[in-house]
A and B are shown apart, each in its own frame.
Chain A
């Protein structure tokens, strides 16, 4: 009894010992800053008020009555709805294709993956050229087919779809890698059994491949959802959130509050809202979907 307790205690210490370094970093660089941000969100600190003054929930009530904040949330919702399913589906299709293609397999994989290796800033500049009105690549194409040209990034209607397309293109290759790994983990005998029974390809995909890829899909989904909130580099290069805030996203809004308007109280409150939002998504993901997934 005492022996097993001692053993348990030892393994407990060992486990905490292993966790300690990363816990330390999490504490210093994650939990402590979140705590400070939380505290700041209840104080007013901006250009007019240099020393922080306690303000209760003022920052939050101002935030929720700010029409720009509403717009930014709605924008971010559409952005998420555009990029997440698109990138996931395309990533899966790439993976299925790259898994089959026997000739030039390496070439196919590399060409699907390379957008992900290029830094976002560089890509944003490339796509800035593609979307340039009049003499940009896309405008020339539409010109050739007689569709006239649109200022993709200068139009409230088109700026979001334009950014979504770019993001899907960039992310699909990354998700392909995970799906490829997932595909290779599916035992071949399942497919052989299906073949023996004469099951159609479509049915094989929906009954074997897709369900067995669910763990991968869950992981990729979390990554994609969070990316939809945290990847904003392209906004700095391509739109600055414009025109008329049509491409302004939550994290960019926070940046503007903090470093364009120097309103740290408002920025902290918006940050807390974002953290709460992200936590909610993660929790829903893990709790809600855990049950339906076929882990082996």
Chain B
């Protein structure tokens, strides 16, 4: 037992680094064919005398589909265009795993060069001093309008005090998925999804029957409850935190009203399960027609599109005072302790990964939103959105979207809100009490950053 304890805390770091190396090795193995072919095609330029830079690229995969292959072919393509830079993609599990492996690697002096990490974890990486701002690289390229092409709602989680620390890569918003067949069945217009909170509650009630819930809004830990709640908060007037990540506004009357609305969907309207709703099973419930509507990420669009055996629609989240949704997902970060030369190479790769064509392709393959405005002007995207207009909903919603909850000490602040929301959904405490408690906890967690 003692041994377990010791290993569990102090040596977990080592174990994690070890695991990181393990997957490093695996990633290397998987990438071998690609690397080999690259070496073959890149041989002439290598012999021309320039030294090769090898970049390690950590990335998580959060949605379904054979996406490792897509990432690897992108890396391969990049090396074709930049023969002196070889990118070694390392699949690192979920976002949580990726953050953990990255931090362990940084602490062990073996930092990756570039990684896709949660946009919301920005402050954590800043506080750990492991990333660099990108402004210098952007200025170097002399393209002043470069950032303007990215949707501002996505950049909100990248920028602090005038500096830009990451570029949006796989980004999403929350949308309302609804079962058109179920709408018809109960006499609702399938082309008129609910657009306000009142309509949402009303149609959810109407859609509920013995075998089917009206709506499911995920509320499981660690972040789905807070992500969903951000949406309600924005719709009711104001986002949950300040841009500098030092203050949160949990216990406002508007937020109490928002949480009450959410609680009422199950407690009063009986249109939503009363327990905590699991993030991962919500899409299956929707596909199995156990729920007629759900709030979920646009990142699931491809999955729903392929597997729904019924006619479904996608709509913006209903409004109260205004429309709104938090953004979510992962950004590309460049690391600090890797030296100037590698950072330059990493910047080239980051630009390559976010260029309009690639952004369009990634969006089509996954359902994530194209991160740049110009990605919607590409041929591939035009064709795709023509066939499948639902893909445009998330983009159109960006006009009303705001950054997701992201603060210093993000883990603790998010956990405080998460626990409060779950307790309120259970009816153990009133929304007002829950949010007051969360505010106190969060203030405590943020005190040392002021």
A in complex with B: yes
Q: Is the CB of A135 within 8 A of B288?
A: yes
In angstroms, Cα B411 to Cα A262, docked, is 8
B196 within 8 A of A: no
Q: Is the CB of A37 within 8 A of B6?
A: yes
Q: Is the CB of A50 within 8 A of B426?
A: no
The SS class assigned to the A binding surface is: helix
Q: Which residue of A lies closest to B281 (CB)?
A: A132
Q: Which residue of B lies closest to A259 (CB)?
A: B100
Q: Which residues of chain B are near A156, meaning CB under 8 Å?
A: 426, 428
B276 within 8 A of A: yes
What is the CB-to-nearest-CB distance from A174 to chain B, in angstroms, rounded to a whole number?
16
A243 is contacted by which of B4, B5, B100, B220 (Cβ under 8 Å)?
A: B220
Q: Is the CB of A29 within 8 A of B11?
A: yes
Q: Is the CB of B288 within 8 A of A267?
A: no
Q: Is the CB of B277 within 8 A of A154?
A: yes
Q: How many residues of A contact B (CB 8 A)?
A: 53
CB contacts under 8 Å to A, within B305-330, are none
A33 is contacted by which of B11, B103, B127, B288 (Cβ under 8 Å)?
A: B11
Q: Which residue of A lies closest to B104 (CB)?
A: A259
Q: Which residues of chain A are near B92, meaning CB under 8 Å?
A: none
Instruction: Name the segment of B71-79, B347-355, B415-423 touching the other chain.
Output: B415-423
What is the CB-to-nearest-CB distance from B191 to chain A, in angstroms, rounded to a whole number?
28
Q: Is the CB of A48 within 8 A of B422?
A: no
Q: Is the CB of B409 within 8 A of A47?
A: yes
Q: Is the CB of B411 within 8 A of A260?
A: yes
Q: Which residues of chain A are near B3, meaning CB under 8 Å?
A: 26, 29-30
In angstroms, Cα B361 to Cα A80, docked, is 51
B9 is contacted by which of A37, A151, A229, A261 (Cβ under 8 Å)?
A: A37
Q: Which residue of B lies closest to A267 (CB)?
A: B9
What is the CB-to-nearest-CB distance from A230 to chain B, in angstroms, rounded to a whole number?
5
On whether A33 and B6 interact (CB within 8 A), knowing A47-B124, A47-B408, A242-B221, the answer reads yes
Q: Which residues of chain B are near A40, meaning CB under 8 Å?
A: 10
A134 within 8 A of B: yes
Q: Which residues of chain A are near B277, meaning CB under 8 Å?
A: 151, 154
Q: Which residues of chain A are near B415, meaning CB under 8 Å?
A: 256, 260-261
CB contacts under 8 Å to B, within A209-240, are 226, 229-230, 239-240
Q: Is the CB of A278 within 8 A of B1?
A: yes
What is the CB-to-nearest-CB distance from B165 to chain A, in angstroms, rounded to a whole number?
16
A196 within 8 A of B: no
A274 within 8 A of B: yes
A121 within 8 A of B: no
In angstroms, Cα B285 to Cα A240, docked, is 20
In angstroms, Cα B7 to Cα A34, docked, is 9
What is the CB-to-nearest-CB distance from B226 to chain A, in angstroms, rounded to a whole number?
13
Q: Which residue of A lies closest to B219 (CB)?
A: A243
Q: Which residues of chain A are near B412, meaning CB under 8 Å?
A: 261, 263
What is the CB-to-nearest-CB distance from B270 to chain A, in angstroms, rounded to a whole number?
14
A245 within 8 A of B: yes
Contact mask for chain A residues 127-158; partner B; CB cutoff 8 A; 1 contact, 0 none: 00000111100000000000000110111100
Q: Which residues of chain A are near B128, meaning CB under 8 Å?
A: 47, 50, 262
Q: Which residues of chain A are near B426, meaning CB under 8 Å?
A: 156, 243-244
Q: Is the CB of A151 within 8 A of B127?
A: no
Q: Is the CB of A244 within 8 A of B419?
A: yes
Q: Is the CB of B422 within 8 A of A230?
A: no
8 pairs of residues in contact across A and B, judged by CB atoms under 8 Å:
A47-B409, A68-B419, A154-B275, A230-B5, A244-B422, A259-B12, A260-B96, A271-B8
Which 8 pairs of residues, A with B, have the shortest CB-CB distance? A154-B275, A243-B276, A33-B6, A48-B448, A151-B275, A33-B10, A244-B422, A261-B411
Given known contacts A37-B6, A230-B5, A245-B419, what 7 new A-B pairs fall within 8 Å (CB)? A33-B10, A37-B10, A47-B408, A151-B273, A258-B12, A260-B222, A271-B8
